[in-house]
Structure formats: structure tokens, C-alpha cells
Amino acid sequence: MIREVFFVSILILVTFIAYSNSFDGDFIFDDSNIYNSQYVQIDTLSIDQLVQVIKKMEPSTRPVANLSFALNYYFHKFDTKGYHYLNVLIHIANGLVLYLLLKTMFALPVVKRTGQYAAWVPLMVTLIWLVHPLQTQAVTYIIQRMTSLAALFYILSLLLYIKARLSENQDRKFFLYAGCLFSGLLAVGTKENAVTLPFFILLFEWFYTFIFERPKTNQKVFHCCGYF
């Protein structure tokens, strides 16, 4: 437990430090979707105004992301710090969910035999992913929150599916599958490229069926060959 708290603290602290110089960034380029849209500029959290954001703010195919911008405007108006703080928090949440996903994968029986350092692999992979320069645009460019927010729901949906697949409790399975579906819909409602999620779920099924649940005789053959 102490080690997990330590790992999570490292992920949060390093990410926050890495992006701390972006908090004063201004609106740029197509951030105009925020400051030129009458629908994002809500003054109350009424159902009517939120529905207007969903129906009329462009792009209309990304209502979840649009709602996040509207909520940012309600609390911070045109003070960009609030928008950047939320972008970084979403990125950190992405990292934590990715860390849980990797931990779940490394807890599978076959993978657990890969070595004593397996506990550190999810941390290192997540840490590299969080601070890699390829993530810079999605985190520091306000409107590109659409990408990181979609990724958050995408990874969460995959994690919930895997948890459901591994669970032996039928009631827990139902709630995990329901969460997977709901999170997947949120991902698609944030950015259209999330429609690839079913493909990655099928890819996991392929791994799970043909590798993690292969016959015991095959496991012995692989073990003898030194793969695991």
C-alpha cells in the first residue's frame, strides 16, 4: 500500500512539475471555439443552458468536451489558468488510469512470471507516457483537451472491460460492463476517433483467449522454451 501511494505521488508530482510552465498560456488558434461561441458562455448551471451547449456548440459531435469548456467558462470566464489546470488534471487522471490498466495486465498469471521487476514496469511506462513530448499539444493547447479527455474515457473503458472479463462475480461483472459501455460512449462523445475502442477490446480478447487462457500443455511448452 505504501509503495502504491509512493508510485502515485511520483506520477502526480512529476506531471505537475513538467506542465507547470503552461498555466499562463493564452487562447490561441482554434481556441476561438471557446471565446467566440455564445453557447459556451453560460452564466448558470441550468439544464436549459447545458442542453444548448450539447445541441448547438460546434463541433456538435463532441458534446462531452464542449460541456467541459462550458463549465470552465462558468467558473473561470476567460482566465486561461483554470482551463490549463483542468487540462493537466485530465492528463494526470489519464496517467493514473493507464497505470491501473498496466497493473491489471501485469497481474495476469502468465505475465506475473516475467520477473521480479514487473511491479516497476507499469510505473516507468506510465511516467514516460505522461512526460513524453508527444503529449505536449494535447495538454497545453486548451482546445486539444478533446484528445486527452477522449483518451481518459477510452482507457477507462478498456480497463473496466478487462476487470469485468477477469471477475468471477456476476453482479460485479454487470456493473463493470455497464461502466465500460458508459465510458466508451463518453469517449465517442468527446472525439470521434474513440470508435476504434471495440477493435482494441477484440484485440485484448485475442490475447486473453489465445495467450492467457491457452491450454496447460501449451503453457508447459512455452515455459520450457523460455518465453515465460
| pLDDT tens sequence across 11-31 | 999 999 999 999 988 888 878
Reported pTM: 0.86
pLDDT at 158: 95
Q: Is 220's pLDDT higher than 50?
A: no
pLDDT at 72: 94
pLDDT at 2: 84
Indicate the pLDDT class of residue 194, thresholds 50, 70 and 90. Answer: very high
User: Positive or negative CA dihedral for 45, 49, 51, 56?
Assistant: negative
Over 2-55, what HEC string results? HHHHHHHHHHHHHHHHHHHHHCCCCCCHHHHHHHCCCCCCCCCCCHHHHHHHHH
**pLDDT tens digits, one per residue of 112-166:** 555 555 678 899 999 999 999 999 999 999 999 999 999 999 999 999 999 998 8
Largest CA distance in the chain: 67
* pLDDT top residue among 226 and 113: 113
Q: Where are the domains of the chain?
A: 2-225
Quick: pLDDT tens for 65-95: 999 999 999 999 999 999 999 999 999 999 9
Angle formed at CA 218 by CA 161 and CA 227, multiple of 5 degrees: 80
